[in-house]
A and B are shown apart, each in its own frame.
Chain A
Amino acid sequence: MLRLILAEDSVLLRAGLTELLTRGGHQVLAAVGSAEELVRAVEAQRPDAVVTDVRMPPGFRDEGLRAALELRSRDASLPVLVLSQYVATAYATQLLTGSSAAGLGYLLKDRVGEVAEFLDALQQVAEGRTVIDPEVVRVLLSRQSQERPLARLTPREREVLTLMASGLNNQALAARLFITEAAVVKHASSIFMKLDLDATEGNRRVLAVLAHLSGQEV
């Protein structure tokens, strides 16, 4: 069970998400409607994790995302899952290319319909892993210019990379793709070799891939 704080300005969604999270066995300490309240609530109640919308009052721009970054700058270990209506990779990049992306997630709001997967993603973030929405990764992978090393990946390797970025471990990945864990390991090492990345453990791999995708230095 996680002790959560939820920030979402739409009353309808706030209620729905609270219900969903509660049914998922978590405790919603506070459900707030603005970025300011979110920061205050987190300071006061010290939750296990935060779930927040991107677009929030008062400016209805990326206040939620900024609040998430601020909370992380105060406490780098606080897990934050950002829910967004935007596939735009700039938001994911903004969130995840700070000093550490451990325990951060960027999911499209659509994903809450897949209740089990959503709760799973939240659990992963709370455990300190990184989760990126597959749709965002797909956009990043779909059009990389020819000179980028990503063009050298096979379709299967792209598939593996996408699932890896959404936070799945080798075991879950193998189950999802109906292949053996050994095959996943083989694909993974091939990907890292092609991208000139160090094959380090779990979360770091995702970070490296993301940094690479967004054109940042690793």
Chain B
Amino acid sequence: MSDSTPLPEPAGFPPVTVLAAIRRRPLRFLGSWWPWRCWAYLGSGFLIGYPVLLVLVLLLGFGVALAVVGIGLLLLLGAVVAGVPLGALERWRLRWVEPEPVPDPHTSLAGAGPAAWLRTRLRERATWREFAYATLLGPVFGAAGFAVVTLLAFALILVATPAIVWAIAPEPVMLIPGRPVSGPLEALGGTAVGLAGMVVAAYTGALLAAAQVKTARLLLGPRVEADRILELTRSRVRLVDAFEAERRRIERDLHDGAQQQLVALSMTLGLAELELRGIPQAAGAAALVARGRGEAKVALEQLRDLVRGIHPQVLTDHGLAAAVAEVALRHPVPVTVDLDVPRLAESVEITAYFTVTEALANAAKHSGASRVAVVGKVEGDRLTLTVTDDGRGGADPGAGAGLAGLADRVAMLKGRLVVSSPVGGPTRLRVEVPCSG
């Protein structure tokens, strides 16, 4: 889909991770860079993990032993905050196997100097989580990494046996003890076993790397971030709901207030006109009243269009298909509507409706289209809607505030909006929204 420009996508479409790479194309995974990245990650993890383990054991051991002296406490504190630079290193190293960077969980410092640094860091949960990660790194991930890298090393040696046999001939080589291999060709069996070993090392390496990524995300990433995103999404949902409620209120106020007043006015004028018609001397006044009534009528028509634009009652009463059919009837460009949808949740119907009206308005204003087609259906629990015109295309989804706003609304419903508008047309707008029912 090189011709389509996806608008800001909602959360839930992350870049490819190692597990996704395996799941999507298990065989192509072997030929990709992924296994190498995982091996490098695990191997270097082993190289870092054991020194870290050693340092921690020493610091903690001496710390506990010397605690009564006082300096032991300092050693213990040192062991805890040693996790901070290690965390930074590990977050950087994570980039080898994780496309999405893990942000630094630490807050800014409350003052200058080592004392302030120590005070701030020791009070943070992030520091303690990093310490927990540091204790895991050597014994758990280091060991696992060591196992995989060792397996890989043996596999590589086996793969290379024909070359080794050839290099050290005529000395005998024994792949299986007691049975010397006579030449490079016979050593090909070892190559096969080695390749199998590499495949195993690739998959286990990937799974281990994925497990470590998960753990690292949990322990090295900011916890509050997730809460904040959830809170942000919630507040956006609240905003959209409030916005919608406000629209309904304005529509109701106009309907119950100004519209009824205007109808009453035009009724009174109509009665006055009737009375005046009976009086020959008042012909001029009758004409004026008739004009006033005509003006009230125009005002009513304008108000009706305005109210419909704010919130179409037919959408509430008759649903999406009927409301879109009404819009199609009024559209300056012929619109064919093929909407096979039941009544849906109100938020889904409103979003779908405004998507269609926005697309139709754009088609009429910019595209030079001579036909527009609206097609919609519910499959499983997803509503898909496409609006296609035969215009000249070249629409820039980023430019229209209307489309960006729609993308936000669609994202709120955990759906997606895709606009495809190559120069020369056609322009196609597609919405997918989950809906239950």
Could you list which residues of chain A lie within 8 angstroms of chain B, going by C-beta atoms?
Answer: 10, 12-13, 16-17, 19-20, 23, 55, 60-62, 85-91, 94, 109-110, 112-116, 118, 139-140, 142-143, 145-146
Residue of A nearest to B256 (CB): A10
Indicate with 1 or 0, residue by residue over B196-225, a CB within 8 angstroms of chain A CB atoms. 000000000000000000000000000000
**A-B contacts, 14 listed (Cβ < 8 Å):** A16-B264, A19-B271, A61-B316, A62-B317, A90-B317, A90-B318, A90-B326, A91-B314, A109-B263, A112-B270, A113-B263, A113-B297, A114-B270, A143-B329
State the CA gap A118–B297 with chains docked (Å): 14
A62 and B313 CA atoms in complex are apart in Å by 9
**Knowing A86-B314, A94-B318, A139-B330 touch, does A112 contact B336 (C-beta < 8 A)?**
no
Tell me the complex Cα distance, A131–B13, Å.
Answer: 55
The reply to whether B264 and A12 form a contact with Cβ atoms under 8 Å apart is: yes
Chain B residues near A20: list those with CB within 8 A: 267, 270-271
Q: Which residues of B contact A87 (CB under 8 A)?
A: 304
Q: Which of B247-264 contact A (CB under 8 A)?
A: 252, 255-256, 259-261, 263-264
Find chain A residues with CB under 8 A from B330 CB: 139, 142-143
Question: B-side binding surface: helix, strand, loop or mixed?
Answer: helix
- Min CB distance B267 to A, Å, is 5
A85 touching B255 in the complex, CB below 8 Å, given contacts A112-B263, A113-B270, A145-B336: yes
Given A12-B260, A16-B264: A115 and B274 within 8 A (CB)? yes
Q: Which residues of B contact A86 (CB under 8 A)?
A: 304, 308, 313-314
Is the CB–CB distance between A23 and B271 below 8 Å?
yes
Q: B271 touching A110 by the CB < 8 A rule?
A: no
In the bound complex, do residue B270 and residue A115 qualify as a contact, i.e. CB atoms below 8 Å apart?
yes
Distance between Cα atoms of A10 and B258 in the complex (Å): 11
Residues of A close to B322: CB separation below 8 A: 88, 90
B259 is contacted by which of A85, A90, A140 (Cβ under 8 Å)? A85
Tell me whether B301 is interfacial, beta carbon within 8 Å.
yes
- Chain B residues with Cβ below 8 Å from A85 are 255, 259, 304, 307
Flag whether B273 is at the interface (Cβ < 8 A): yes
Quick check: B293 and A113 within 8 Å, CB to CB? Answer: yes
